[in-house]
Amino acid sequence: MALTEGAEDTAPDLEDRQAWSADRKALEATKRATDLKAQANRRKGEPCPAAADWDTWFQETLDLEASWVAMREVRDMVRRSGAGSDTVKPFRDVFGSFKEWEALVSALRQNMIDCARQLNVKRGESSDELRMVTERERQRRAIELGDLGFGPRMHGVRSTIRPSGSMWRAPVTATLAAIAPRLSAGRRS
């Protein structure tokens, strides 16, 4: 079979990760949490993108934020997995405390808000933004849990889902700033 232009030339990873041992799941979760935390810490310190790069930057930042949000559930799954303490402890060390997790989520959200303001990005209604963020977090949670063996794999799911309509396009309204505290309020443990 010939590949069409732009098609991936690698076969999809069909490994049943749910069959992994508890220790392997914890090790893979540690690697993923380490990578996500490093990316998030880099992103929160970066300057805002150029206006022409806003959409890509925003989608990547939203995916990163949603994946980091998913790590809280991964943390709970690692704790309950039955993995040995020698594999659970490194994950806990990388994840950090709930306060550290929440601070990183808040920093990423604030970065999106600040950059949207700086670039005069047109915003959607508060309820539309909340729905978009909540949906992205739900999707990334399913992807992260599946990729780490704590749920079914999400084959064929695009990792970057674009919002519909004119949300997040240029002049400004301040709705994400208004909903960010509500997004965090539902995540207390």
pLDDT tens digits, residue range 83-92?
Answer: 999 999 999 9
Distance of CA 138 to the CA centre of its chain: 10
- Contact between residue 151 and residue 72 where contact means Cβ atoms under 8 Å apart: no
Q: Confidence band (pLDDT; 50, 70, 90) for 48?
A: very high
Say what the pTM is: 0.74
Rounded CA separation 76/45 (Å): 28
pLDDT for position 8 = 47
DSSP 163: P
Is the pLDDT higher at 35 or at 183? Answer: 35
- Whether residue 177 contacts residue 129, with contact meaning beta carbons closer than 8 Å, is answered with no
Please, where are the H alpha helices in the chain?
Answer: 22-45, 54-80, 85-95, 98-118, 126-147, 175-185
Among 3-12, 32-41, 48-57, 157-166, name the one with the lowest average pLDDT: 157-166
Answer whether residue 188 shows pLDDT above 50: no
pLDDT of residue 4: 38
